[in-house]
Amino acid sequence: MKKIFFALLSLILSFFSVGATAQNKEYPFQSGENMELIVHYKWGFSADIASVKFTFTEKSEEGKEPYYHLLAKASTYKFWDSFFKVRDIYESKFYVKDLKPLYFHRDVNEGSYYAKNWYNWSDDGKTLNAVLDKKGRPRRDTTFYEDVVIRDIINIFFAVRCLDFKKLENSEPVPFTVALDKDVLDIRVRFVGREKKKIAKVGTFNAIKLAIAVNPKKNRSKDKDETSVFSFGEGDGESVFYGEEKVFIWLSDDANKLPIFFSAPVAVGAINGRVGVYEGVKYPLTSLIKKE
């Protein structure tokens, strides 16, 4: 369960990307937009088990281009700590001008399990140096090469909201390239439709529903310790998410395109997530048609 939660959380944060032809130039978010995601699990019982808190700010340093900084902290609620204690941190920096990634760090701590990533980019985002440290494996220093920008699992959380959904509605699924730990993923996003979505303790929204397909790409890394870094799954529970459209995401159908709900498979039971608290949204949340 611990490793499945780790894989799920990583993929929750990785179902979005930028660079499609159907992209808006003006961002639907702003510095100071913060939110909390509530994770719900059902298997013989039904309960909220964890939360993920996001803090989003714009920063600038002398001699450097302005960038966005997103910090996400995930933790199980106190009652569930004795079953599978989760204390995860995700940090991403990406340029304001085009949302291309600059830096990424992940620090996963779930019981006795841990995984840490440090990503740095070059070649305009197409070359990624990744330092990987995971329990039971030697630390690895790996470089990935792609013909397109390689996204991390945080900056894409915001960037997909920049898509032109009117164009996406009538187009084929949009492909993106995303790095996750030792792997490079092929993610395809398909517009499913518009519908009303009820979010517990928040209200009912007019929403956009997206379907997500996740599959591995062929290995394009050069591992400096000359050992293979592409062995999908390896018992971590990630493979349960791979395949055609196993994950679904709902965004608010207004100018903010705020992520409000997701559903995804797990090896045992069912899991979903919903927005709990949100603040600092850029535009009026007109999609919220009924508050609870």
Contact at 8 Å (CB) between 261 and 250?
Answer: yes
pLDDT (tens digit per residue) in 202-212: 999 999 999 98
Retrieve residue 42's tokens. 């059902």
Beta strand 67-76 pairing with 87-95: antiparallel
Go through 142-177 and write b for each residue having 16 or more CB atoms within 10 A of its CB, e for each that does not.
Answer: bebebeebbbbbbbbbbbbbbbebeebeeeebbebb
The reported pTM is 0.83
**What Å distances lie between residue 74 and 90, 160, 288, CA to CA?**
8, 21, 26
Q: Give the other-Cβ count within 10 Å of 29's Cβ.
A: 20
What SS3 state is found at 292?
Answer: coil
Contacts 24+ apart (CB under 8 A), 39-42: 39/9, 39/271, 39/272, 39/273, 40/271, 40/272, 40/273, 40/274, 41/266, 41/269, 41/270, 41/271, 42/269, 42/270, 42/271
pLDDT value of residue 10: 55
pLDDT value of residue 225: 42
pLDDT value of residue 9: 56
pLDDT value of residue 111: 79
Q: pLDDT under 50 in the chain at which residues?
A: 1-2, 4, 14-24, 224-238
The residue range of the domain holding 193 is: 2-291
> Which of 291, 279, 274 lies closest to 52, judged by CA?
274
* Count of structural domains, the chain: 1
